[in-house]
């Protein structure tokens, strides 16, 4: 159904009613989505008719591209880096939680909470881009990536030897985190993802400073 409005038929007393009708029609077009009128079946006769006919379709199309476009903006490399960093942040959180349980050093408790925030930030990106979350089991020490699982065990073994070794493990993790974030940033063209990585890297530098200054 198409409503054609001629300029010559519009009189002052009918403008309010006409505006209300047009508003209802536009709302119906938006709610119907892809079922709006086929442009080839009716030919607009005036500029006003053209705007009335075409603009709702244009708005629907543009809204659709905004809604669905974000799921296709990442390269495979960006997807790989995002999922890897999600688990690497979990590695940091899990190691710090375990070392806090062993040594009761508040620095590990504080930074493990920050690492949880890093994990949550990356999960938001994973959800936004429609990527499968690698964290299937959020329990301490559980990893989908076998390399990270092995690294977790190695770091825990080392950190259990002494408080000094535990602090050293913290330094190793933050240095690794910064390096991997820099690599992920260097190959990404997605500005939103880069901004998230940069915030995480800033946090990692702060954590590294905290470990470097601990006990001094």
Q: pLDDT tens, 22-79?
A: 554 445 444 444 443 344 444 445 444 444 444 444 343 333 333 333 445 899 999 9
Alpha helices in the chain (DSSP H): 15-32, 47-69, 76-103, 106-128, 146-159, 163-186, 191-213
CA distance 159 to 103: 9
Closest CA to 49 of 3, 1, 14: 3
What's the pTM? 0.68
Residue, of 67 and 114, whose pLDDT is higher: 114
Closest CA to 214 of 179, 164, 174, 178: 164
Q: pLDDT tens, 1-14?
A: 333 333 333 333 44
Range(s) of the chain covered by CATH 1.20.1260.10:
73-213
Closest CA to 122 of 47, 203, 63: 203
Q: pLDDT tens, 135-190?
A: 999 999 999 999 999 999 999 999 999 999 999 999 999 999 999 999 999 999 99
Q: Which two tokens stand for residue 80?
A: 């790989």
**What pLDDT is recorded for position 73?**
81
From the candidate CATH numbers 3.20.20.120, 1.20.1560.10, 3.40.47.10, 1.20.1260.10, the one assigned to the domain spanning 73-213: 1.20.1260.10
């Amino acid at each position: 159904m198409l409503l054609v409005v001629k300029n010559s038929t519009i009189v002052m007393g009918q403008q309010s009613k006409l505006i209300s009708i047009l508003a209802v029609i536009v709302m119906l077009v938006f709610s119907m989505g892809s079922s709006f009128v086929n442009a080839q079946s009716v030919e607009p006769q005036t500029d006003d008719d053209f705007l009335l006919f075409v603009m709702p379709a244009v708005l629907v199309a543009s809204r659709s591209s905004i809604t669905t476009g974000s799921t296709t903006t990442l390269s495979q490399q960006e997807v790989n880096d995002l999922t890897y960093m999600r688990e690497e942040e979990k590695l940091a959180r899990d190691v710090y939680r375990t070392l806090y349980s062993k040594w009761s050093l508040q620095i590990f408790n504080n930074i493990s909470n920050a690492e949880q925030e890093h994990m949550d930030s990356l999960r938001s990106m994973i959800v936004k881009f429609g990527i499968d979350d690698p964290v299937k089991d959020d329990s301490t020490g559980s990893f989908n990536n076998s390399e990270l699982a092995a690294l977790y065990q190695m770091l825990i073994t080392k950190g259990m030897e002494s408080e000094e070794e535990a602090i050293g493990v913290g330094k190793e993790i933050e240095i690794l985190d910064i390096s991997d974030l820099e690599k992920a940033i260097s190959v990404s063209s997605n500005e939103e993802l880069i901004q998230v990585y940069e915030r995480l890297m800033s946090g990692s530098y702060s954590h590294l400073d905290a470990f470097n200054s601990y006990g001094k």
